[in-house]
Structure 1
Amino acid sequence: MKKLDQHVLDLQDGKEAALASLIDEFSEKLLFFAYKIIKNKNIAEEIISDSFIKLWERRGNFSSIECIKSFLFLVTKNACLDALKQSRSKFEHSESFLMDLKTDTQDVLTKIIYYELIDLIAKEIEKFPKKQAQIIQLSLIEGRSTEEICEELETTPSTVYFARSKAISTLKQVFKQKNISYYQVSFLLSMLWP
Structure 2
Amino acid sequence: MNSEEYIILRKLQNGDSGALDILYLRYASKVRDFALRLLKDQTDAEDITHDIFLRIWDHRRNLEDVCSFKGYLFRMTRNAIFNVMKRRQMQYKYLKATGSRIEEEAKGGFSDAVSTDELLEMIDLAVRNMPEQRRKVFYMSRHENMSYDEIAKTLNISPRTVQYHISNALAELRKVLSSLMFFV
Scaled by the length of structure 2, the TM-score of the pair is 0.49
Q: Which has the higher contact order (CA 8 A, sep 6+)?
A: 2
TM-score (structure 1 length as normaliser): 0.47
